[in-house]
């Protein structure tokens, strides 16, 4: 079945460092891909999404490109800030309204 695998954390970076959080997926059809962010004590917020191959989602300096050839949707940011400290979830939708799959989450801590 469909699934999402993301790199394990925790990840600790210094402010202004480059961030990559890897995410790969397995799907039988043509899924949509998402990154969600969860700040401490809060629910999940949609960070960005891509609905077809080669689409690039971007928001708040974060980017991820839907790569069908490598079945990946890696999250990147060129210069992280302390306020980016959160847990990041990669997710996949099969677009049928039946299934929505999450990765296990990657905790990011950015230190000044």
The residues of the shown chain that bind another protein, judged by CB under 8 A, are 32, 34, 36, 41-46, 49, 89, 91, 93, 95-97, 100, 102-105, 107
The residue among 3 and 79 lying less far from another protein, judged by its C-beta, is 3
Residue 93: phi and psi, rounded to 5, are -120, 140
> How far, in Å, CA of 50 to CA of 111, rounded?
30
56 or 79: whose CB is closer to another protein? 56
H or E segment at 110?
strand 106-111
Shortest distance in whole angstroms from residue 30 CB to another protein: 13
**Residue 19 Cα distances to 60, 90, 106, angstroms:** 13, 15, 12
Least spacing, CB of residue 79 vs another protein, in Å: 26
Q: How far is the CB of 54 from another protein (least distance, A)?
A: 19
Smallest distance from another protein to CB 96, Å = 8
Nearer to another protein, 43 or 112 (CB): 43
Comparing CB distances to another protein, the nearer of 29 and 41 is 41
- What dihedral angle (degrees, nearest 10) is formed by the CA atoms of 74, 79, 83, 85? 40
Residue the block writes with tokens 């847990």: 87
What whole-number distance in Å separates Cα of residue 75 and Cα of residue 64? 5
């Amino acid at each position: 079945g469909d699934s999402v695998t993301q790199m394990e954390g925790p990840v600790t970076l210094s402010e202004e460092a480059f961030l990559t959080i890897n995410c790969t997926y397995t799907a039988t059809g043509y899924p949509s891909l998402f990154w969600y962010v969860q700040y401490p004590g809060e629910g999940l917020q949609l960070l960005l999404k891509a609905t077809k191959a080669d689409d690039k989602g971007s928001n708040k300096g974060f980017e991820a490109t839907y790569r069908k050839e490598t079945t990946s949707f890696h999250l990147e940011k060129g210069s992280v800030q302390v306020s980016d400290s959160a847990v990041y979830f990669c997710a996949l939708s099969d677009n049928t309204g039946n299934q929505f799959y999450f990765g296990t989450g990657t905790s990011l801590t950015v230190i000044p």
